[in-house]
Amino acid sequence: MSLCNSDQFYWLDRVGTGSTRVRKVRHKFNSQESACKEITPDASSMFDVRCIDAVARSNHPNIVQVQDRWADQWPTPKVYIQMELCYGDLNQYIEATREAARTSGTPIDHRAVWKIVLQIVDGLTYAHELGWSHRNLKPRNILAKANGTDLFGVPQFTWKISDWGLSPTLLPPPTVDEPQTHIPTSDDVYRAPEHRHSPSAAVDMWSLGCILFELATNGVLAFPVEAEDPTYVIDNGKATSTAAAKMSRKTPQIVTDPSGHINRVLSLCLNPTPAERPTARQLGVYIRGILGQ
């Protein structure tokens, strides 16, 4: 933990669209600009500094680099994470492509989808092979770094996974004597059925399948939380209602998939049996074959 503190920065504009407070900051002494996330620790989330130090302090191109972290105890305990500055996230990209499709009939570019997914997979491969899983992978946690333009003047981005070491608290598996009631959140649409009890990398592969489906359908969710079903109970190790629906529902498929590659990957990543999902490295090899790399 650094001896740095919040007084060493000028706090500028808010960055991103998530609920957590993230601000653009400028160091008072060297004028370096970065992003800073303010976290109030609570019992519902984990703050794993080991994961942050092992993964996010790396220089991997598809992981948002953490530059520093520190804690302030006054007036209330808070943790601050200083990281490289990115603009925009995958959720905003999906909204923009959906609007383009609505207004001008722009078709979904499957090759562009695979290029995005491959960058996410490369970041996951690096972390998983270090022994860490993300457990809260979603479009808002995949940030964009501008990377020039292509030959046609189209902006290009490097996609980076953020928020390593910040995930829902792991709970012991439910039993007959101790069932668990869970109130779904918007993040649950990306989470594997077993995510509340498993730190496995397979949890991230399920989330990746949900993100692929959303990219390939211009924003349709693979497993939306049912509005008429605000809670579900996990009883005797098996989930009823929303979580059970994920286990029993057919894998969502897209209609327009001439090559069949997207639907095949959806079937693999959204397999209800975690051990049967591909590893990130296996999926990366498959996608590179699709792209001819």
Write down the CATH superfamily of domain 90-291: Transferase(Phosphotransferase) domain 1 (1.10.510.10)
pLDDT at 1 over 70: no
- Same CATH topology for 6-83 and 90-291: the answer is no
Region for 105 from its dihedrals, namely left if φ exceeds 0, alpha if ψ lies in -120 to 50, beta otherwise: left
Of residues 179 and 203, more confidence is placed in 203
Q: Which of 114, 121, 108, 285 is nearest to 207 (CA)?
A: 121
Of residues 161 and 152, more confidence is placed in 161
DSSP string, 113-156: HHHHHHHHHHHHHHHHTTT---S---GGGEEEEEEEE-TT--EE
Domain boundaries, the chain: 6-83, 90-291
Cα dihedral 210→280→216→14 (10° resolution): 70
Average pLDDT over residues 127-146: 92
pLDDT digits over 57-71, tens only? Answer: 888 999 999 988 888
Record the pTM: 0.84
pLDDT digits over 31-66, tens only? Answer: 888 999 888 766 555 677 788 888 878 889 999 999
Return the CATH number of 6-83, one of 1.10.3720.10, 3.30.200.20, 3.40.50.800, 3.40.50.2000: 3.30.200.20
